[in-house]
Amino acid sequence: MEEPLNRKLKPLSNKSVTLKTQSIEKSSYDVNAHDKFYAWFFLGPSLVILSIFVFYPMMRTLYLSFFLTNSLGHPSVFVGFSNYINLLTSSAYLDSLTATLIYVIAVSILTLVFGLLLAQTASKKIAGINIFRTIFSGTMGVSVSVAAIFWLFIFNPSIGLLDQVASFFHLPTINWLTQPSWAMTAVIISTVWMNLGFTFLIFFGAFQSVPKFFYEAAEIEGLSRSYQFFHITLPMISPTIFFISIITLIESFKSFGLIDLMTAGGPNNATNLLVYRIYQDAFLSGNYGSASTQSVILAIIIALFTLIQFKLLEKKVTY
C-alpha cells in the first residue's frame, strides 16, 4: 500500500527542494537597500515590542536575581549566587517545589484522562447528546473567580455542600481547605474541573477527525470497543494528546488564580506553589531579588520538563 505512494511523492519533493534552493540563491544576490528597508519596516515594530515587553524584562529578571533589593525595590547589594544558594537550601522552598511537582503531575494526568473519557462519551450518537457536549465544554466560559466562589461554597467548612452531604449520610466531615493534607486535593480537583472544558473540546474535535472507515473496518473484523479505542483512536489523535499534555503541564506550573482565591498558599504552605511564592515575595514582601531568582529557576524547570516531554513523547506521536 505505502510503497507506490512514496514513489509517487519522491520526484515531487525533489522538485520543491530544488526550487527552494534556487530562490535562496537568487535572493542573496538581490538584497539591496530597498529590501532591507522593507525587512526592517515589517519586523521593526514587533522587534521593538518584543524587546520592551519580553527581552528587557527577561534580562532585568536575570540581573535582579543577583541582588538584594531595598524597600523601594531598587537593587542595592550585589550578592552573586547567594540568592540561588539560599533558596535551594531552604526547606520551605524545597517543600514548595515538591508541592508544585505533585500538583502539576496530578493535574496533567487527571485532565488528560478525564478529558479523553468525556470526549469519548460525547462522541456517541445518542439523542440529546448535544446538551451534554455543551455542558462538558461549559467550564471554558467560567472565569477563575467564579469557579473559585463555586468551589469555596462546596468546600465551606460549616455550610458547604460536600460536608452537608457527608453529614446526611453520617460520613465524617473533612475540613477541605484548612487541613494541609486535604487542601492540595481540593485545589487539584478544582483545577482539573476548570481545565476540562478546554481539553474536552480539543479532544472532541480530534475524535471527529479520525476517518470513519477505520472503525467500520474494525467492526467488520469484530474488534471490541476498547481495542478500537486503544489501537485506532489513541494513535490517530496522538498529536493532540501531545499538544494537550504540554499545554496543561506548562499551564499548571503557572497556576495562580485558583490558589490565590481558594487557599492563598495555605494551610501551612501546603498549596504554596512556585508561582504563588514569587507573587508573595515580589508584590507583597517587596523582595524583588529573591522573586527574580525564583522566576529564573521556574523558567529553567519548565524548559527542562518541556524538553523531556519532547524527547519522550515525540517518538510515540504519529503524524
Contact set with other proteins (CB under 8 A): 68-74, 76-77, 92, 152, 156-159, 175, 177-180, 261-264, 266-269, 280, 283-287, 289
Residue closer to other proteins, measured from CB, 152 or 302: 152
Q: How far is the CB of 289 from other proteins (least distance, A)?
A: 8
Distance, in Å, from the CA atom of 257 to the CA atom of 145, rounded to the nearest integer, reads 7
Residue closer to other proteins, measured from CB, 130 or 268: 268
Residue closer to other proteins, measured from CB, 188 or 201: 188
Q: How far is the CB of 278 from other proteins (least distance, A)?
A: 14
Cβ atoms < 10 Å from Cβ of 148: 20
Residue closer to other proteins, measured from CB, 157 or 235: 157
Residue closer to other proteins, measured from CB, 130 or 143: 143
Q: Are 236 and 210 in contact (CB under 8 A)?
A: yes
Q: How far is the CB of 123 from other proteins (least distance, A)?
A: 39
Residues facing residue 78 across a β-bridge: 67
Which ranges constitute the DSSP H helices of the chain? Answer: 2-30, 33-50, 56-64, 82-89, 91-122, 129-136, 144-155, 161-168, 180-209, 212-221, 225-228, 234-236, 238-253, 257-262, 274-279, 288-313
Eight-class DSSP state of 173 = P
Among 250, 251, 253, 273, CA closest to 262: 273
Q: How far is the CB of 170 from other proteins (least distance, A)?
A: 14
Eight-class DSSP state of 141 = G
Q: How far is the CB of 271 from other proteins (least distance, A)?
A: 11
